């Protein structure tokens, strides 16, 4: 029998208490998500510990990539733990501000920033990383009209290749992100931009995330450091004040082991980009999935079980609406499934190969195919670990499936489990409110005013 890991035992305790308190209920709360706030704090601690302080790095700002979990209470926790926030849309910027991140600890990396978004970010003093030459020209026009305290950088696409998941690889020869540095003439043109724009003081790179090997990521950073050195050689020391090295640390979805670690990545950075640690540049990081994934899980009830073609199928309330990537690309994004009874206790029966299906109305809505699990029965609970990033925090509204409640969890000093509501569950019978149907209908254009004859 496989040994129960401390992480699995903790999930079981949380699940049992959630059932006892009614946060999971087979009639009223069919699906819920949980964020382990103690785990988040511990992970952030390991991130801070992994990167050296002065004199090797004169300043390090670890920002959290808001796209990984944009729920404002979660972002607020991260702000209180000393992190900054990386945002890629105006909506994420608004959430970061609502969570209490100071403007000078927010990095705005959107690849298609509008004029209005740039003006807003520059007025606030948010750090801005430009994506392309046209955006640099647009920023220059904005700054000609108004001063800004923003730090401004430019994203480099070092074009060093991709990992095993193409959609997660952002430094390929044809990536949509950044200035393609090896395309003919671009390096020289970007050097001229540093000469033309005195406000341009940072460089930014991000090679990719899940599926990208650490040495590839570190080699991308090395290319950014090399370009910064080239700018310094052309325009003098201090012309580039910092390097944003992105994030992208992959996550182990196979079991509870946390690997690779931030420390392992720093070792790769030291090997491939030693000049990063010479004390000449400030550093920003943008980790997301690696901070939250293993600190969250989903739990859903089994509604029915059946057999088709000789294979058992468990129909649950967790599917494409909370596990979109897994459902549409299961080979790249496999998830573990844990079987529990209705009280939250882990089932230990002899494994049976079965499908774990979601509630959506299409055949591919499966969390797992042909997976060996203890036999599932109606009223059981399935737990889906490693979903603290990108899963329940970024729901897909297919079939008008409602967003589940999200609860923050802490274990108190006396051993009691404390839950905090992060996001309330949507009422499926009130979803039409989002379409404006809770307001009185507007009069048709051209209709006579009420009371008019």
Same domain assignment for residues 277 and 300: no
Residue at which a domain ends, from 291, 318, 352: 291
**8-state DSSP, 346:** B
Same domain assignment for residues 30 and 42: no
pLDDT score of 447: 52
Residue at which a domain ends, from 291, 310, 330: 291
214/219 Cα distance (integer angstroms): 9
Same domain assignment for residues 31 and 46: no
Give 286's strand partners: 63
157/346 Cα distance (integer angstroms): 47
Give 381's strand partners: 301, 340
Per-residue pLDDT of the chain (453 residues; tens, 9 = 90+): 568 999 999 999 999 999 999 999 999 999 999 999 999 999 999 999 999 999 999 999 999 999 999 999 999 999 999 999 999 999 999 999 999 999 999 999 999 999 999 999 999 999 999 999 999 999 999 999 999 999 999 999 886 777 787 777 777 777 777 888 988 999 999 999 999 999 999 999 988 888 788 998 999 999 999 999 999 999 999 999 999 999 989 999 999 999 999 999 999 999 999 999 999 999 999 999 999 999 999 999 999 999 999 999 999 999 999 999 999 999 999 999 999 999 999 999 999 999 999 999 999 999 999 999 999 999 999 999 999 999 999 999 999 999 999 999 999 999 999 999 999 999 999 998 888 876 655 655 555 554 443
> Per the domain annotation, does 57 fall within a domain?
yes
Same domain assignment for residues 28 and 53: no
> Per the domain annotation, does 255 fall within a domain?
yes
- Using DSSP's 3-state secondary structure scheme, residue 122 falls into helix
Residue at which a domain ends, from 233, 257, 291: 291
Same domain assignment for residues 341 and 359: yes
> Per the domain annotation, does 1 fall within a domain?
no
How many domains, the chain?
Answer: 2
> Per the domain annotation, does 400 fall within a domain?
yes
Same domain assignment for residues 267 and 343: no
Same domain assignment for residues 263 and 361: no
Q: How far apart are the first and last CA of the chain?
A: 82
Same domain assignment for residues 304 and 283: no
Sign of CA dihedral 419, 423, 424, 429: negative
373/348 Cα distance (integer angstroms): 9
DSSP H or E stretch at residue 65: strand 60-65
Give 302's strand partners: 316
> Per the domain annotation, does 2 fall within a domain?
no
Return the residue matching tokens 């000609």: 144
Dihedral of CA atoms 418, 424, 425, 428 in degrees, nearest 10, equals 160
Same domain assignment for residues 31 and 63: no
Q: How many CA atoms lie within 13 A of 249 on its CB side?
A: 26
305/420 Cα distance (integer angstroms): 32
> Which range of residues forms the domain containing residue 405?
8-36+294-435
Q: How many CA atoms lie within 13 A of 375 on its CB side?
A: 8
Same domain assignment for residues 275 and 418: no
pLDDT score of 161: 76
Same domain assignment for residues 137 and 234: yes
> Per the domain annotation, does 3 fall within a domain?
no
What one-character-per-residue DSSP string does 401-438 give?
PPPPEEEEEEE-TTS-EEEEEEEPPPPGGGGGGGGTTT
pLDDT score of 173: 74
- Using DSSP's 3-state secondary structure scheme, residue 316 falls into strand
The three-point CA angle 315-321-325 to 5° equals: 100
pLDDT score of 441: 57
Backbone dihedral angles phi then psi of residue 61, each to the nearest 5 degrees:
-115, 115
> Per the domain annotation, does 449 fall within a domain?
no
Q: Helical H runs in 35-182?
A: 37-50, 72-80, 90-98, 115-124, 133-145
Assign residue 399 the CATH number of its domain: 2.40.37.10
Assign residue 216 the CATH number of its domain: 3.20.20.10
Same domain assignment for residues 69 and 203: yes
> Per the domain annotation, does 211 fall within a domain?
yes
């Amino acid at each position: 029998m496989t040994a129960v890991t401390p992480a699995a035992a903790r999930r079981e305790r949380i699940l049992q208490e959630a059932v006892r308190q009614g946060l999971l209920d087979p009639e009223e709360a069919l699906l819920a998500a949980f964020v382990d706030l103690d785990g988040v704090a511990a992970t952030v601690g390991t991130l801070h510990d992994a990167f050296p302080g002065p004199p090797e790095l004169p300043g390090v700002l670890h920002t959290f990539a808001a796209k990984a979990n944009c729920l404002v209470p979660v972002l607020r926790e991260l702000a209180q733990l000393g992190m900054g926030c990386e945002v890629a849309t105006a909506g994420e910027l608004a959430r970061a501000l609502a969570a209490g991140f100071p403007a000078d600890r927010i990095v705005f990396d959107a690849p298609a920033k509008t004029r209005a978004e740039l003006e807003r970010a520059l007025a606030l003093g948010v750090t801005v990383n430009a994506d392309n030459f046209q955006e640099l020209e647009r920023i220059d026009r904005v700054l000609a009209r108004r001063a800004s305290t923003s730090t401004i950088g430019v994203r480099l696409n070092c074009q060093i290749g991709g990992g095993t998941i193409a959609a997660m690889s952002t430094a390929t020869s044809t990536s949509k992100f950044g200035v393609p540095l090896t395309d003919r003439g671009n390096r020289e043109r970007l050097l001229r931009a540093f000469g033309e724009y005195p406000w341009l003081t940072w460089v930014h790179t991000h090679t990719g995330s899940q599926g990208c090997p650490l040495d590839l990521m570190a080699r991308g950073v090395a290319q950014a450091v090399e370009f910064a050195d080239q700018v310094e050689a052309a325009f003098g020391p201090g012309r580039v004040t910092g390097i944003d090295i992105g994030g992208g640390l992959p996550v182990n979805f196979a079991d509870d082991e946390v690997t690779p670690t931030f420390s392992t990545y720093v070792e790769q950075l030291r090997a491939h980009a030693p000049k990063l640690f010479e004390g000449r540049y400030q550093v920003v990081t943008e980790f997301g999935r690696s901070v939250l994934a293993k600190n969250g899980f989903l739990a859903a009830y089994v509604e029915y079980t059946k057999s088709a073609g000789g294979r058992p199928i468990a129909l649950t309330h967790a599917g494409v609406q909370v596990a979109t990537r897994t459902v549409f690309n299961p080979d790249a994004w496999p998830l573990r499934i844990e079987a529990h009874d209705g009280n939250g206790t882990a089932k230990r029966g002899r494994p049976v190969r079965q499908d774990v299906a979601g509630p959506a109305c299409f055949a591919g809505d499966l969390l797992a195919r042909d997976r060996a699990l203890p036999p599932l029965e109606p009223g059981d609970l399935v737990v889906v670990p490693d979903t603290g990033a990108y899963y329940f925090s970024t729901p897909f509204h297919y079939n008008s499936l409602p967003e589940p409640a999200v609860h923050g969890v802490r274990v108190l000093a006396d051993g009691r489990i404390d839950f905090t509501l992060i996001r309330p569950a949507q009422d499926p019978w009130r979803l039409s409110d989002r379409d404006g149907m809770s307001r009185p209908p507007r009069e048709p254009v051209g209709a006579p005013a009420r009371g008019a004859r």
